[in-house]
Amino acid sequence: MEELVRYGEKFFDELEIAIYRKRDVSVNIELNELSLSSVRQRTVAVIRGIKDKRLGLAIIDSENKEEIKKAIEQAYKMAKLNSRDEQWDSLPGPGKYAKPKKIDTALKEVSPEYFVELAKKGIKLALEEDKNIIVAGGGGGVEWRESQILNSQGINVVQKGGGAYIYFELVGMKEGNVTPGIFDLDAKLSLNLDVEKVVENAAQKVKWAYKVEKSRTEEAKVIVEPWAISMLLSFALFPAFKGERLIKETTPLANKIGESVASELLTIYDDPFHELSLNPVIADDEGVPTRKNALIENGKFKGFIWDNYWAKIYGTESTGNGVRSLATGGISIGMHNTVIENGKKSLEDMIREIEHGYLINSFQGAHSSNPDNGNFAVVANPAFIIENGEVKGSTVFMMSGNIYDLLNQVYDISKEQKVIPFMGTVVSPSIAFENVRIAGK
Amino acid sequence: MEELVRYGEKFFDELEIAIYRKRDVSVNIELNELSLSSVRQRTVAVIRGIKDKRLGLAIIDSENKEEIKKAIEQAYKMAKLNSRDEQWDSLPGPGKYAKPKKIDTALKEVSPEYFVELAKKGIKLALEEDKNIIVAGGGGGVEWRESQILNSQGINVVQKGGGAYIYFELVGMKEGNVTPGIFDLDAKLSLNLDVEKVVENAAQKVKWAYKVEKSRTEEAKVIVEPWAISMLLSFALFPAFKGERLIKETTPLANKIGESVASELLTIYDDPFHELSLNPVIADDEGVPTRKNALIENGKFKGFIWDNYWAKIYGTESTGNGVRSLATGGISIGMHNTVIENGKKSLEDMIREIEHGYLINSFQGAHSSNPDNGNFAVVANPAFIIENGEVKGSTVFMMSGNIYDLLNQVYDISKEQKVIPFMGTVVSPSIAFENVRIAGK
């Protein structure tokens, strides 16, 4: 591929070639049946070239060298027609990468059959567990990805790896009552997925959900589980960490570095190398070395994350957070594996200590949160009622407010963490908040 | 590929192999610049096999024969583990196809460069037309598709063809006012796209949109343009034509065949062979011959459309409306090219005859319509105010009601039709409705 960079230098002052090979193997479940086995594969090459501060971008589903040469020429024709971007500085130069994590090559070779067996086992377990349960949906598979990022500044980094996942959505039907769909999942960098645990967790919640009660409008303690936390923070909080928003003045965290923005109990960082990470990249999509970036430490805001373009405009360095969309070829600022640090208490003990409160499994409407100011309005569904330290039934309620206020109401964090494959991956414990205003629905 | 059907017959009672090759060439526009040139290609094979009424479905991004054999075996392993579908009858048998439309092979060979020139020309025209205009977005390209559907009942049909499109989204900024984005497009089965007309139409509407007025709450005449009509009917009306909904009792058209459900002025049919169709398929995705299917004729409901599975359950024949998702491999009932028959008057004359009324360019919220009963609630934005036969400025208002009531309020239909690439394609005129209740916003 290096000769293609040389070829591109005939046209451009600087250029970058990024090549991705993806292979996704999966099995889908629908209404207790195996509905689809699939093997999807794709090769994508993205050319980004700059001539006189004019940018040309081309994307092509091929790694054939002649095709890539054509894409380079195409990108050049576009660059010539575009205006100068006076803010353009330069592509990143080489850096020192961490040692890559050992790869489980079984992930690359696996056939859908492996997941047919896992899925069938999960369906059987769920139906045996409770005859009122239907496995409404689910799936399992492997996502394998290989990439090579090269640029004319000397970057040339090759990476490969993959992860496996399995999930089930269970619905209970009893005495005319239909529970909401209850999801649970396991995801790892190996094929060693714990189907029993996933089914057991989801089936337990279906049992809780049979008994539905109206919720009051009140202030109460709520424990928010990992899936719900990931959704809410991904829309209401995480975008505020992006340096582009500092420059565009759309983050409430401007001028807040070093200041307290959340409870002292809360520590959040982006760390591709965390032991539960499904995304152990040593370089971002611009070839910049990745690292652990502190975001919030004991409640204090630690700093923004950057890609190459916005970092240089601001006069700082990329934090290794350039992430490429394979739909548009464009780079934007993104997290690789966001970790919310865990606490010391088990979720079970956290529930046991609550006299009256709620356990929230999932939020609806989190995507309409406003990261410019942190305002959110979500529906907790399903949520479970806790009375005298025990879960007593399920309910639905609204929660609205400001994420920074909420993050100051944290009073406990579970020791168990779960990895959620959602906008990159998020490693999250369950978090307990006090004096949360909820509105019965 | 026939030998692969023979291979599959060793496992299955019946099987179908569907192979698709897609090549999409395109150029994107963002903020007056060419933001991306792309060549995307993909090959997908879908295996559907039935053994003892048990279904196995496999999808693989390859047309390599050994890979397809593996997918056949995989589908068989799944079928064995699934329950019997007692409603399963059989795959379709061969039929007589129409003569395919002549293909413009220039569409297959075209490079993104062709669209770079068109896009650049459109941007230049828009900026010359009105110095307050920004080309906020846009794009142009070709979608080329080749397919082969084979089954063990003797179907073997090969098709190929493609279409070209160009669109622009213009925004005007004047005296602190920012207009909504105004879209216009051209799409054809040849490269002969009319960029001047597209830019001229959109720029005209931007000029109308500079002057914004509050709208009243009242009953008035409204003319709904093709893009807005397509969106509203695609969500509120068209799903009701699907036979699956007759069986599942989720269509208000049950027992209405031959009855009046709309104004006499209204005639709607699905016709892949219509002269403006972008989708001139001779066979559907199950290999069943396509045809012109009347849906509403002079206001009377003419009948449902069917794929093979639901037709046989109901005891009728497929109408050639089996459409496959390349994401899931599944077949569902869908239209190829829905045509709303045009009238005799020009849109210009229709506007001229209105003393006080509105012209609606686009609806927001159409996707939340309920096809089970036809209820909808949408926001008309942008909409234009008509006073004494002339457009006087732009406005925004809400419209809610029932689609069948609305379709009885048609009083005129334009002679001009436009093809909208939206859920298949829709060929639509502008439609004028009287006594429409609108609510100012």
Residues B373 and B275 in one domain: yes
Among A61, A85, A121, most B C-beta atoms within 10 A, so best to mutate, is: A61
- Label each residue of chain A as H, E or C: CHHHHHHHHCCCCEEEEEEEEEEEEEEEEECCEEEEEEEEEEEEEEEEEEECCEEEEEEECCCCHHHHHHHHHHHHHHHHHCCCCCCCCCCCCCCCCCCCCCCCCHHHHCCHHHHHHHHHHHHHHHHHHCCCEEEEEEEEEEEEEEEEEEECCCCEEEEEEEEEEEEEEEEEEECCEECCCEEEEEEECCCCCCHHHHHHHHHHHHHHHCCECCCCCEEEEEEECHHHHHHHHHHHCHHHHEHHHHHCCCCCCCCCCCCECCCCCCCEEECCCCCCCCCCCCECCCCCECCCEEEEECCEECCCECCHHHHHHHCCCCCCCEEECCCCCCEEECCCEEEECCCCECHHHHHHCCCEEEEECCEECHHHCECCCCEEEEEEEEEEEEECCEEEEEEEEEEEEEHHHHHCCEEEEEEEEEEEECCCEEEEEEEEEEEEEEEEC
pLDDT over threshold 90, residue B421:
no
Cα A46 to chain centroid, rounded: 23
B71 in A contact zone (CB under 8 Å)? yes
Residues A33 and A82 in one domain: yes
3-state secondary structure at position B358: strand
Chain B CB contacts of A123 under 8 Å are none
Other Cβ atoms within 10 Å of B387 Cβ, number = 12
Residues A277 and A348 in one domain: yes
ipTM: 0.88
**Which residue among A209, A243, A274 closes a domain?**
A209
**Which residue among B158, B192, B209 closes a domain?**
B209
Residues B18 and B95 in one domain: yes
> What is the pLDDT tens value at each position of chain A, 441 positions in all?
899 999 999 999 999 999 999 999 999 999 999 999 999 999 999 999 999 999 999 999 999 999 999 999 999 999 999 999 999 999 999 999 999 999 898 999 899 999 999 999 999 999 999 999 999 999 999 999 999 999 999 999 999 999 999 999 999 999 888 999 999 999 999 999 999 999 999 999 999 999 888 888 999 999 999 999 999 999 999 999 999 999 999 999 999 999 999 999 999 999 999 999 999 999 999 999 999 999 999 999 999 999 999 999 999 999 999 999 999 999 999 999 999 999 999 999 999 999 999 999 999 999 999 999 999 999 999 999 999 999 999 999 999 999 999 999 999 999 999 999 876 799 999 999 999 999 987
Residues B24 and B159 in one domain: yes
Residues B199 and B84 in one domain: yes
pLDDT over threshold 90, residue B422:
no
- Output the CA angle A115-A116-A117, nearest 5 degrees: 85
Share of chain B above pLDDT 70, in %: 100
Q: Do A33 and B330 touch (CB under 8 A)?
A: no
Please tell me which residue, A423 or B143, carries the higher pLDDT value: B143
pLDDT over threshold 70, residue B423:
no
In angstroms, the CA A52 to CA A88 distance is 10
Q: Dihedral angle at the C-alpha atoms of B346, B349, B354, B357, nearest 10 degrees?
A: 40
Q: Do B112 and A40 touch (CB under 8 A)?
A: no
Rounded to a whole number of angstroms, the distance from the CA of B34 to the nearest CA of chain A is 6
* Dihedral of alpha carbons A194, A197, A200, A201, sign: negative
Range of the domain at B29: 2-209
Q: Do B112 and A75 touch (CB under 8 A)?
A: no
Q: What are phi and psi of B432, to 5 degrees?
A: -105, 130
Residues A256 and A193 in one domain: no
Residues B303 and B194 in one domain: no
Residues A401 and A257 in one domain: yes
In the stretch 48-67 of chain B, residues with CB closer than 8 A to chain A read 56-62, 67
Q: Are strands B363-364 and B356-360 parallel, antiparallel or unpaired?
A: unpaired
Residues A112 and A40 in one domain: yes
Residues A130 and A87 in one domain: yes
A82 in B contact zone (CB under 8 Å)? yes
Q: For position A140, which CATH number holds?
A: 3.30.2290.10
Nearest alpha carbon to residue A379 among A366, A369, A367: A366
Residues B278 and B247 in one domain: yes
Task: Supply the pLDDT for residue A423.
Answer: 67
pLDDT in tens, B380-407: 999 999 999 999 999 999 999 999 999 9
Nearest alpha carbon to residue A18 among A228, A285, A281: A285
Chain A CB contacts of B37 under 8 Å are 56-59, 71, 74-75, 77-78
| Residue B313: partners with Cβ closer than 8 Å, 6 or more residues away | B87, B89, B247
pLDDT in tens, B207-236: 999 988 888 899 999 999 999 999 999 999
Among B20, B44, B48, B59, most A C-beta atoms within 10 A, so best to mutate, is: B59
**Which residue among B152, B185, B209 closes a domain?**
B209
How does residue B440 score in pLDDT terms, banded at 50, 70 and 90?
Answer: confident
Task: Supply the pLDDT for residue A424.
Answer: 79
Domain count, chain A: 2
Cα A115 to chain centroid, rounded: 23
